[in-house]
């Protein structure tokens, strides 16, 4: 059995054990969220030895070269020494510069990072708060917004949501790894219809993509469908539509049936796994080829149980 060492603790898990499970069994506090290689909450740095990595492409080469691995995607096959991502040393410090509570208990959070963060619309970052790390998508646009903005769904009352409710101006938050990129805007889509389908705070990355499309001078029509129990972004839609009348926005409780789309449509969908699955089916039935449907699923600890 291989020897696994972390933070001064040692264990001998069965060869082939999942690294995240083995570390949690040793009571080494490694945050995790999706267990699917998607959220990147479970980063650990290999100080000696090498685990078997089931999904090596999930991390950028630069991080892998520094020894970072996703514990949920690795198996312990040889002796190994790791250290979990430590927000005190590894995260970029940021301060809360604005907090806005909107309908449906959505918190719009603005942060000023201590150092510039490189990201693009459609990506997400781990937010570290009170020892809890969760992935949140950027709602801000890097080249126009001097802050980082996030839409945080708080009505489910999870660990991060509880900590977020206690936030005040000036409080500190750690920024972990920026990752993802399934959702993005490509200027080569300029003349095509662009559909953006969001469930709840799945709007955050699509709002960033939309603003990037508008800034790039997108020529085709853009249609947004925001499915939410309580729509929370009305004033922003009105402001953007006043500047850009080609934008049409529908705030809905459910996706309408019988949608029809131009076959050249590019469609981006984001929200809980169940909603994204339903959106993808509806888009395909509407005539959008699968290769033109890009999605981001907001996986939670209980993948598949999340709502909006």
Ligand X SMILES: Cc1cc2nc3c(=O)[nH]c(=O)nc-3n(C[C@H](O)[C@H](O)[C@H](O)COP(=O)(O)OP(=O)(O)OC[C@H]3O[C@@H](n4cnc5c(N)ncnc54)[C@H](O)[C@@H]3O)c2cc1C
Query: Which residues are at the interface with ligand FES (CB under 6 A)?
Result: 32-42, 70, 72
153 makes contact with ligand X (CB under 6 A)? yes
Distance of alpha carbon 111 from alpha carbon 264, whole angstroms: 37
Q: Which does 41 bind (CB under 5 to 8 A by kind): ligand FES, ligand X, none?
A: ligand FES
**Residue 147 · residue 98 · CB < 8 Å:** yes
Angle subtended by helix axes 234-243 and 203-215, to nearest 10 = 10
CB atoms within 10 A of CB 301: 15
Among 68, 85, 136, 232, contact with ligand X (rule: CB under 6 A): 136
Which residue(s) pair with 288 in the sheet?
Answer: none
Q: Which does 209 bind (CB under 5 to 8 A by kind): ligand FES, ligand X, none?
A: none
**Residue 272 · residue 306 · CB < 8 Å:** yes
140 makes contact with ligand X (CB under 6 A)? no
Among 33, 177, 265, 292, contact with ligand X (rule: CB under 6 A): 33
265 makes contact with ligand X (CB under 6 A)? no
| Stretch 110-129 residues interacting with ligand X (CB under 6 A) | 124
Return phi, psi of residue 112, to 5°: -110, 110
Residue 19 Cβ vs ligand FES, minimum distance, rounded to whole Å: 10
Candidate ranges 14-22, 55-63, 245-253, 294-302; the one touching ligand X (CB under 6 A): 294-302
Residue 118 Cβ vs ligand X, minimum distance, rounded to whole Å: 17
38 makes contact with ligand X (CB under 6 A)? yes
- Residue 198 has which token pair? 């969001």
Considering the complex, state which of residue 35 and residue 211 has its C-beta at the smaller distance from ligand FES. 35
Q: Which does 238 bind (CB under 5 to 8 A by kind): ligand X, ligand FES, none?
A: none
Non-local (6+) Cβ contacts of 4 within 8 A are 10, 11, 12, 13, 19, 22, 23, 26, 76, 79, 80, 81, 82
Task: Find the Cα–Cα–Cα–Cα dihedral 25, 31, 33, 34, rounded to 10°.
Answer: -60
Considering the complex, state which of residue 17 and residue 92 has its C-beta at the smaller distance from ligand X. 92
Distance of alpha carbon 280 from alpha carbon 275, whole angstroms: 9
Considering the complex, state which of residue 11 and residue 269 has its C-beta at the smaller distance from ligand X. 269
| Stretch 165-224 residues interacting with ligand X (CB under 6 A) | 180, 201, 204
107 makes contact with ligand X (CB under 6 A)? no
**Residue 228 · residue 308 · CB < 8 Å:** yes
- Residue 4 has which token pair? 């696994």
Interface residues toward ligand X, by CB under 6 A:
33-34, 38-39, 124, 132, 134-137, 150-153, 156, 158-161, 180, 201, 204, 272, 298-302, 305-307
């Amino acid at each position: 059995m291989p020897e696994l060492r972390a933070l001064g603790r040692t264990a001998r898990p069965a060869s082939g054990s999942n690294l995240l499970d083995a570390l949690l069994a040793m009571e080494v506090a490694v945050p995790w969220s999706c267990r699917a290689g998607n959220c990147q909450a479970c980063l650990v740095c290999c100080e000696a030895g090498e685990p078997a990595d089931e999904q090596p492409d999930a991390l950028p080469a630069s991080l892998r070269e520094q020894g970072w691995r996703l514990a949920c995607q690795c198996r312990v096959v040889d002796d190994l020494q790791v250290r979990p991502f430590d927000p005190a040393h590894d995260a970029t410090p940021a301060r809360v510069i604005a907090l806005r509570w909107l309908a449906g208990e959505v918190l719009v959070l603005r942060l000023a990072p201590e150092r510039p963060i490189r990201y693009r619309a459609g990506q997400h970052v781990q937010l570290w708060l009170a020892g809890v790390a969760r992935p949140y998508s950027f709602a801000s646009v890097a080249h126009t917004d001097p802050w980082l903005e996030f839409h945080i769904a708080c009505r489910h009352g999870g660990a991060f949501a509880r900590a977020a409710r206690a936030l005040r101006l000036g409080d500190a938050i750690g920024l972990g790894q920026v990752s993802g990129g399934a959702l993005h805007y490509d200027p080569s889509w300029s003349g095509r219809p662009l559909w953006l389908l969001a469930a709840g705070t799945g709007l955050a990355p699509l709002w960033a993509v939309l603003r990037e499309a508008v800034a790039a001078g997108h020529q085709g029509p853009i249609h947004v469908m925001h499915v939410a129990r309580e729509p929370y972004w009305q004033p922003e839609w009105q402001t953007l539509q006043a500047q850009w009348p080609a934008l049409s926005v529908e705030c809905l409780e459910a996706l309408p049936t019988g949608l029809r789309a131009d076959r050249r449509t590019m469609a981006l969908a984001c929200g809980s796994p169940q909603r994204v699955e339903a959106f993808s089916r509806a888009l395909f039935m509407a005539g959008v080829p699968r290769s033109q449907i890009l999605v981001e699923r907001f996986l939670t600890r209980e993948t598949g149980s999340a709502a909006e």
